Structure formats: structure tokens, C-alpha cells
Structure 1
Amino acid sequence: MSGAGAPQANLKRKETKKLKLAIVAASWHTQIMDGLLDGALRAATDAGIKKPTVVRVPGTFELPVAAAHLVEEYDAVVALGVVIRGGTPHFDYVCEAATQGLTKVAVESKTPVGFGVLTCDNEQQGIDRAGLAGSQEDKGYEATAAALETVVALRNI
């Protein structure tokens, strides 16, 4: 796991506190998902956003359709999920569908969609990235910060 070279979040409350933020989170792998969601909510708080909308869906495969619905009403959407490799090609199909689906939603709607989907070979990799006590990274926070900073960047064009 790298993490090296990652930009520092620059959440400017003046520019972000009035943004409408939605977070859509999968439900599989509860410990990891709770960490990702906590990180996303912490980033929202740091940005001055008091009440982001949180929507839970069954799994990572359902993230794109939920995000497509939410972009109509929100300035930014953050998608959080985790897929852990197993012994079948299911991992590849779900990861590709989520990635392509969320990319399509962002590009077609012109709304930033934070990509907080962990694609891991094992559960420990997810724990290491979930922002939990002892984790090396906080991908929920990072995905939220990236989406909010992109809104600000696009508005400054």
C-alpha cells in the first residue's frame, strides 16, 4: 500500500460549508464500511457541512444506481464500498461495474463523485485503508475531500 504522494485535503469552510453532500455506502463488511463512513462524515464536518445525507445500499454493485439518483439533488456524491477478492471472477465483475458505473454517473451528470471503493485481496487490506484505529489510510475521508475539492475547483473555472 502506497499512500505516498497523496495530496493534503484543503477543505475551505467558506467554500464548502453550503454544499449539499450525499454519501452512499454499501453494507457488506461492516467493520470496514463503518470506518469508511466515519471518515466521510469527519471530512464533511471538517468542510463545515453539518448534515450530509447518508444512504445505505446492499452492496458495491448498487452504488452507481444510487449515485445516479443522488446527483440530481446534490453538489457532490461520495460512493463507499469494499470488495474483497474471493475464489471466483465475481470480484472482477463487481469492481469493474462499480468503477465504470460511478465514472459514467460523474461524467454524464458533471457532478463530482468521490470514489471510496476499496478493491482488496484480503480483509486486512480493507482494514488498513478504512480509517480505523491503527489503519494506515482513511479512504472515506480522502474520497469525500476529493469530491468537495472538485466542486470548488469546477466552480472556480
Structure 2
Amino acid sequence: MASTDHYTLPRPEFDRPVKLLLVVAPFYRKIADDLLAGARAEIEAAGGTHETIEVPGALEVPTAIGMAGRMKKEFDGFVALGCVIRGETTHYETVCNDSSRGITLLGLQGLCIGNGILTVEDMGQAEVRADPAQQNKGGGAAAAALHLVALARQWGAPQQGIGFQAGGDMS
């Protein structure tokens, strides 16, 4: 298969520290460890810090990110990490679609999330994508989260009174 060159945005710079939460589903431990290594290296190269938590599987990743986003205001962004390998049943589609949908919905609500949940056909594909010396998808997910944090800081905090306000005075 021919190699394709991809453009990568320059690493964002920050005037104050960035802290990301890495949420990993370590079902395939070697893959998870490679994804974590790539993500941690990218965050540290940007001068950021990180904390890591583990969840049972890819379906729990968006739930944990949503909980942290509501309850732990210390994180500027999040990195979702894990791996789903196609099996013999339709469970693969459910896990891939629902974990991705959950992460997307949280992002649309304003959380800065880099999605590094691999969805692959076999272990060989997973190994190439997770390896920091090859495709480094963990590093790419961390870079995505850092870029979103930079955008959020550039645009500032949400303004009061924008969007639907339940129970507000309409007069």
C-alpha cells in the first residue's frame, strides 16, 4: 500500500499550563500502553501535564470524560484512548459507533477531546496505528485535544445568555 503524506498543524503554544486527562480502555494492554506513550510525549512536548485513568472498555470512555468534565474542573481537555478490533458479531459496530458518538456529543457541548480510540480489522493494524514510532495515533489524539484547548482559550469562556435558557424570564 502506498504511503500518503499528511499535513500536521504546528504544535500550539500556551501562555499558561495545560492539563489533560487521558482516559484509556486497556483491553489490549500493549496497544493501550503505546497509545499512552504517544499521548504523554505529545502533551509533555507542548509543556502540558496529564493524569491517566483506566475504564473497562471503549463504551465507558465517553462516560468517564463526561463525568470528569462535570465534576473535576481542573482539566482543560481530554484524550480518549483504546482499541476496538472487529470480531465475529455486530458488537464491533455498536462499540465503534456509540463510543465515537458519545465523544462527539461531549465535544459539541464544549469539551476539548482528542479521539484516539482505534477501530481496526486486526491486531496488526492496531499495532501500526498505536506505535509512537509509526502512526502514533495516541500522539495525534493528544495533539487534537491541545489544538482544541488553544481554540477555546483564544475564543474565551462562553457568554451568558447565549442559547436556550430553561426557566428564564421571557418578559
Distance 1:43 1:123 in 2: 24
- Deviation of residue 17 (structure 1)? 5.6
Distance 1:70 1:2 in 2: 41
2:69 corresponds to which of 68, 71, 74: 71
The structure having more radius of gyration, on CA atoms, is 2
What is the aligned partner in structure 1 of residue 120 from structure 2? Answer: 120
Mapped contact 1:41–1:141 kept (Cα < 8 A)? yes
Tell me whether 1:42 sits opposite 2:41 in the alignment. Answer: yes
Tell me, which stretches of 5 or more residues in structure 2 are unaligned? Answer: 156-171
Give the letter for the 1:111 counterpart. L
TM value normalised by structure 2: 0.81
Give the letter for the 1:112 counterpart. C
Cα deviations by residue, 1:39-75 (Å, 9 ceiling, x for unpaired):
01001110111x3110111111110100101223211
TM value normalised by structure 1: 0.88
Cα deviations by residue, 1:11-47 (Å, 9 ceiling, x for unpaired):
244x176112111000111111100011010011101
- Deviation of residue 6 (structure 1)? 3.1
In structure 2, do the counterparts of structure 1 residues 89 and 70 end up closer, same or farther at CA, with 3 Å as the change threshold? same
The 3-state SS of whatever aligns with 1:114 is strand
Matched length: 152
Mapped contact 1:16–1:47 kept (Cα < 8 A)? no
Cα deviations by residue, 1:108-131 (Å, 9 ceiling, x for unpaired):
2x0211000100000000001002
Mapped contact 2:31–2:83 kept (Cα < 8 A)? yes
In structure 2, do the counterparts of structure 1 residues 131 and 2 end up closer, same or farther at CA, with 3 Å as the change threshold? farther
User: If each structure's helix is expressed as a fraction of its own residues, which one has the higher value?
Assistant: 1
Mapped contact 1:3–1:137 kept (Cα < 8 A)? no
* Dislocated runs of 4+, deviation >6 Å: none
The 3-state SS of whatever aligns with 1:88 is coil
What is the aligned partner in structure 1 of residue 97 from structure 2? Answer: 96
Distance 1:69 1:76 in 2: 13
Distance 1:79 1:3 in 2: 26
Mapped contact 1:83–1:120 kept (Cα < 8 A)? yes
Mapped contact 2:12–2:150 kept (Cα < 8 A)? no
Tell me, which stretches of 5 or more residues in structure 1 are unaligned? Answer: none
Distance 1:100 1:26 in 2: 16
Over the aligned positions, Cα root-mean-square deviation in angstroms equals 1.9
Distance 2:115 2:30 in 1: 19
